[in-house]
């Protein structure tokens, strides 16, 4: 189980992609506009970084599977102070895999 806490809310799921999907759906309701999960992550990261993260650096291409991309997104949000990720055993194992196999 992975948990992501942000702005007083807690999102729990069996995968990072499930959590990012919930975040995306919630934003779609607020904005009345549905984005794909990848579009949501790119837009969200651009907002968090003040536009400093370029599309090329965010790697939202089809080369990385959705789960790894979602997990990387949650790590970046945590790194920017925009959320807290927990789920120690899965998180550690997944982070090691993401860091040792970038782009795969």
**Domain spans of the chain, in order of start:** 2-100
- Residue 17 is predicted with a pLDDT of 93
* Angstrom distance (rounded) from CA 21 to CA 72: 14
User: What is the per-residue pLDDT across 4-55, written as a single tens digit (0 to 9) for each?
Assistant: 999 899 999 999 999 999 999 888 777 777 788 888 888 888 787 776 666 5
DSSP summary character for residue 61: S
Phi, psi of 86 (to 5 degrees): -140, 165
Identify the pLDDT of residue 104.
Answer: 45
- Output the pLDDT for position 45: 81
Q: Give the pLDDT of residue 91.
A: 45
- Structure tokens, 80: 């920017």
More confident: 78 or 59: 78
């Amino acid at each position: 189980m992975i948990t992501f806490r942000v702005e007083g809310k807690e999102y729990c799921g069996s995968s990072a992609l499930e959590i990012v999907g919930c975040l995306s759906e919630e934003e779609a309701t607020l904005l009345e506009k549905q984005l794909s999960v990848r579009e949501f992550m790119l837009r969200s990261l651009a907002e968090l970084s003040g536009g400093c993260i370029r599309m090329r650096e965010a790697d939202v291409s089809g080369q990385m599977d959705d789960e790894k991309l979602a997990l990387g997104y949650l790590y970046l949000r945590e790194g920017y102070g925009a959320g807290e990720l927990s789920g120690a055993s899965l998180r550690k194992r997944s982070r090691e895999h993401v860091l040792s196999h970038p782009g795969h």
